[in-house]
Structures are given as structure tokens and as C-alpha cells.
């Protein structure tokens, strides 16, 4: 199968593309704008692989999207490209509206035009080939060349075509402490610009299925963790702060609960839904792995204590001015384990002002995908987090190169000014 993956250079996308090409025998076209969150290096191991192609395209460029469909004639679309960081959505919601809503609209339009062309036995021509293409802001592909087919290959391709829209559990809003996990019928109640923009994109995807018959599937997944996650998200932040001996920021009291899923388990689930899921259905994907943030951070600290003992020597000053600047790590930090020279990274935990509108709890009820499609996560909390910490320790050059750019592990999303990126 030839699959067009959007956002394949991001965290989940790169893990998904690798799984599809290396383990599932699929052929992948990765369409990605390469924003700050996209990293071509994350798929450097696929360079030269005949089953992998990269197209640097912005979802907001409708003409370029259509050209990709025309050029590659995919059998399926897996749509992951998005602005994905809640804190950035607080600082600059405009990009989230453009990419997550307008970009998804453009992709749905390009997919629909392409899918219809398969039924009609006509070829889709990109607007760059069209002297009078539609410039109205909708997908700018047009049908120009009638080809009478002598076989029914396009009809088969049409009936097998799938559009998998990848979304998040954050669209459901916050759960009460003892409430059951989100099922597929849970009402939407998003609270951040990120989750609201993803909710809007989910509604668009379902509307294109109901109104135009596009064969859409939707997945809503819980928090992912694992290799290649941009170092602004909680888990890489904790590991990198440990390595630098800097305060580990935990929002509020650290009581917020998330349901953690190892990223390759998510990728497996997406391939399962694409190949076995019923068209028009939604599948919720979760890890049965609920943890309070502070508990998660402590687990990571103790893995770091074991896998990379501090020896009281950090890569940058332990207590900079941002942490009071008046403590001596050798005197203040408790020792970890039996090694009396080591201090526990837990001592770096620092509670900071909470994120505005911070949802207290997310959890997924994965009954449907398990019972209907037979998918279950392979990694549990212990195995998944151990693998993740080891990966970040073994791949320092990957994070070092990112941190040599604009992002410096600074805190984002305190809602001081959200006007700048609109």
C-alpha cells in the first residue's frame, strides 16, 4: 500500500513512518512542512530507501497538496501534521487555527477531489498545471483530463481508499477523578486553543465523511512518550533538565493525571485502524497507564539515578538564579541509592505556576479498539519509560542539535500575550 503520511517528520509521525516502511512493508510519502517540531534527522535512517519519499509541503498550500496527490496517487492518507504543543497554543493560537483547522480542510478537499477522480476514471491535475485554477482558498485541484479506463483498477483503488485522521483525547476536556475513561461517544469539551483546534479538525473530518462519503476513520489518543519527541514536552524536558542539573519544572502541584502510551504502540494502533477499522468509525487509543505528573517525574528521576547517576556533577550549574541561586547542591541534595557520591535528581523538582486552563485528568477507555480490532499496547509503564530514558541518553546529539537552535528549554505558555503569531 502507498500511504501519504502528513507530519511524518514529527514525534509520532517519524515513529509511524519507520514502522510502516521497516516492519509493515508499506510505501510511504511523508508530507511535512518541517516546522520547528519537524526534524528530517529523525528519519535519516530511511534516506535512500525506495519505499520512502519526502515532500516538503505546507498544509496551508492547497495547490501544493493537490500536486502531491497527482504525483503519488496514494492508497491512503494518515493525517498527523499539526501544531501540537498546548503551551505554544496559549502563546500563539493563530498557527494552530491555520494548520489544524484550515490545513485539515485543505487536506480533506484535496483527498476528496482525488478520491472522486478515482471513481470517475479521471486524472487529477495539480493547479500548477492549470492556467485558471481555483484561487479561492479551497483545495486548488481540478479535473482536466478524461481518461477512459479499460480496467476497474481505479474503482478498486477508490473502494479501498482510507483517510485516517489522527487526533487527541484532549478534545474531550477534563475528567473527574473517579469518572470512567473517555469512550468514543464522550461529548467534546476542549479547553485550550490546541484542543479546540483539534476538535474543529475532527468535526471537519467527520463532516467530509457524512456529507461527501469520503472514507474517513478518526482516532483519539492519549499522551504519547518515547524516542524523537521534541524537547519541549514533559518527558524530554525532565531528562534534559536532569542532565543539565537544572530545576525540573512541574506545573501546579503536579497532580494532573495523564494516560501514557508508548509511541510505537500508538503507531501500531494507527496501522491496525487503517487496515482493519470500519469506515466512519472512531477508535480511542490509550495505554491503561494513568499517572499523576509528579509521580511520572519521580519515576523518570529514579530511572536517571539508576542509568546516569549524577555523582553530584552536573553539566551546568545545579542551582542557577532561577532556582534561588543560593543553594549548594553538595549540601542540599539527598543521596541516591547506595552510591554515596550520587545525589538524587528528584531534588531538582521545582513546582511552578500552573498552566492556564490546565485540564486535571485525561484517561482513555480502549475497549472498542481492543475488542473489535484486537489491538493492545505492548509496553507497560516500567518497560516504556526505561526504553525512553535510555534512548535520550544514547541519542544526545539529536537533542543537542535541536537545543542549538531557537528552543532552549525555556518555559512557554503563560498567557501573557497571545497576539503575536496571528
Ligand X SMILES: NC(=O)c1ccc[n+]([C@@H]2O[C@H](COP(=O)([O-])OP(=O)(O)OC[C@H]3O[C@@H](n4cnc5c(N)ncnc54)[C@H](O)[C@@H]3O)[C@@H](O)[C@H]2O)c1
244 binds ligand X (CB under 6 A): no
99 binds ligand X (CB under 6 A): yes
For residues 242 and 260, give the distance between their C-alpha atoms in angstroms, rounded to a whole number.
21
The CB density around residue 372, as the number of other CB atoms within 10 Å, is 15
Q: 174 near 74, Cβ under 8 Å?
A: no
Residue window 124-163: x/- pattern of binding to ligand X, with contact defined by CB under 6 A: ----------------------------------------
CB of 408 to ligand X, least distance (A): 18
Instruction: Using the minimum distance from each CB to ligand X, give the nearer residue, 247 or 286.
Output: 286
186 binds ligand X (CB under 6 A): no
For residue 75, give every residue at least 6 positions away whose Cβ sits within 8 Å of its Cβ, in sequence order, or none: 1, 2, 3, 157, 160, 161, 162
Instruction: Using the minimum distance from each CB to ligand X, give the nearer residue, 37 or 248.
Output: 37
109 binds ligand X (CB under 6 A): no
Burial 131-141 (b: 16+ CB within 10 A, else e): eebbeeeebbb
Closest CA to 276 of 157, 375, 205: 375
Instruction: Using the minimum distance from each CB to ligand X, give the nearer residue, 69 or 345.
Output: 69
For residues 71 and 163, give the distance between their C-alpha atoms in angstroms, rounded to a whole number.
18
Choosing from 170, 232, 346, 379, which is the catalytic residue?
170
29 binds ligand X (CB under 6 A): no
Of 113, 168, 192, 336, the residue at the interface with ligand X (CB under 6 A) is 168
37 binds ligand X (CB under 6 A): yes
CB of 310 to ligand X, least distance (A): 28
Question: In this structure, what C-alpha cell is assigned to residue 69?
Answer: 496527490
Q: Which stretch binds ligand X (CB under 6 A): 216-224, 334-342, 346-354, 358-366?
A: 216-224
Of 4, 21, 38, 369, the residue at the interface with ligand X (CB under 6 A) is 38
Instruction: Using the minimum distance from each CB to ligand X, give the nearer residue, 96 or 314.
Output: 96
Q: Is 262 a catalytic residue?
A: no
For residues 414 and 188, give the distance between their C-alpha atoms in angstroms, rounded to a whole number.
24
Choosing from 114, 172, 194, 262, which is the catalytic residue?
194
Q: Is 129 a catalytic residue?
A: no
User: Please, what is the angle between helix 293-307 and helix 234-244, to 10°?
Assistant: 40
Closest CA to 401 of 244, 230, 246, 247: 230
Instruction: Using the minimum distance from each CB to ligand X, give the nearer residue, 97 or 124.
Output: 97
Q: Is 61 a catalytic residue?
A: no
Instruction: Using the minimum distance from each CB to ligand X, give the nearer residue, 221 or 318.
Output: 221
Q: 260 near 296, Cβ under 8 Å?
A: yes
CB of 235 to ligand X, least distance (A): 10
Of 29, 46, 80, 214, the residue at the interface with ligand X (CB under 6 A) is 80
For residues 309 and 302, give the distance between their C-alpha atoms in angstroms, rounded to a whole number.
9
Question: In this structure, what C-alpha cell is assigned to residue 79?
Answer: 493525517
| Angle at CA of residue 94, ends 91 and 95, nearest 5° | 95
Using CB under 6 A, count the residues that bind ligand X: 29
Q: Which stretch binds ligand X (CB under 6 A): 82-90, 185-193, 347-355, 382-390?
A: 82-90
Catalytic residues: 169-170, 194
Amino acid at each position: 500500500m502507498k500511504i501519504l503520511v502528513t507530519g511524518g517528520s514529527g514525534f509520532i509521525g517519524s515513529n509511524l513512518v519507520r514502522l510502516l516502511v521497516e516492519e509493515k512493508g508499506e510505501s510511504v510519502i511523508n508530507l511535512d512542512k518541517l516546522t520547528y517540531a519537524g526534524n528530517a534527522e529523525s528519519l535519516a535512517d530511511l534516506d535512500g530507501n525506495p519505499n520512502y519519499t519526502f515532500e516538503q509541503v505546507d498544509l496551508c498550500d492547497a495547490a501544493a497538496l493537490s500536486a502531491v496527490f497527482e504525483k503519488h496517487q496514494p492508497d491512503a492518507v494518515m493525517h498527523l501534521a499539526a501544531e501540537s504543543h498546548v503551551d505554544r497554543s496559549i502563546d500563539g493560537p493563530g498557527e494552530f487555527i491555520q494548520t489544524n483547522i484550515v490545513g485539515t480542510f485543505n487536506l480533506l478537499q484535496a483527498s476528496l477531489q482525488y478520491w472522486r477522480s478515482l471513481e470517475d476514471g479521471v486524472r487529477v491535475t495539480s493547479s500548477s498545471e492549470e492556467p485558471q485554477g481555483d484561487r479561492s482558498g479551497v483545495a486548488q485541484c481540478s479535473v482536466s483530463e478524461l481518461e477512459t479506463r479499460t480496467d476497474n483498477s481505479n474503482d478498486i483503488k477508490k473502494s479501498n481508499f482510507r483517510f485516517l485522521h489522527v487526533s487527541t483525547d484532549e478534545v474531550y476536556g477534563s475528567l473527574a477523578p473517579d469518572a470512567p475513561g473517555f469512550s468514543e461517544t464522550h461529548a467534546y469539551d476542549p479547553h485550550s486553543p490546541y484542543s479546540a483546534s483539534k476538535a474543529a479538525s475532527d468535526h471537519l473530518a467527520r463532516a467530509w465523511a457524512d456529507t461527501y462519503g469520503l472514507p474517513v476513520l478518526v482516532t483519539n489518543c492519549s499522551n504519547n512518550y518515547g524516542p524523537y519527541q521534541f524537547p519541549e514536552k514533559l518527558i524530554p524536558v525532565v531528562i534534559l533538565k536532569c542532565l543539565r542539573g537544572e530545576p525540573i519544572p512541574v506545573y501546579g502541584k503536579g497532580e494532573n493525571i495523564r494516560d501514557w502510551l508508548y509511541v510505537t504502540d500508538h503507531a501500531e494502533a494507527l496501522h491496525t485502524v487503517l487496515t482493519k477499522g470500519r469506515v466512519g468509525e472512531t477508535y480511542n487509543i490509550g495505554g491503561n497507564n494513568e499517572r499523576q505528573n509528579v509521580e511520572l517525574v519521580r519515576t523518570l528521576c529514579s530511572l536517571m539515578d539508576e542509568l546516569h547517576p549524577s555523582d553530584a556533577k552536573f553539566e551546568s550549574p545545579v542551582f542557577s538564579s532561577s532556582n534561588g541561586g543560593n543553594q549548594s547542591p553538595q549540601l542540599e541534595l539527598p543521596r541516591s541509592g547506595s552510591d554515596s557520591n550520587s545525589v538524587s535528581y528528584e531534588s531538582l523538582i521545582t513546582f511552578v505556576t500552573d498552566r492556564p486552563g490546565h485540564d486535571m485528568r485525561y484517561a482513555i477507555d480502549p475497549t472498542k479498539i481492543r475488542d473489535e480490532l484486537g489491538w493492545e499496547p505492548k509496553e507497560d509503564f516500567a518497560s516504556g519509560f526505561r526504553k525512553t530514558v535510555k534512548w535520550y541518553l544514547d541519542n544526545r546529539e539529536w537533542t543537542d542539535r535541536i537545543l542549538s537552535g531557537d528552543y532552549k528549554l525555556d518555559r512557554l505558555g503563560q498567557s501573557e500575550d497571545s497576539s503575536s503569531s496571528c
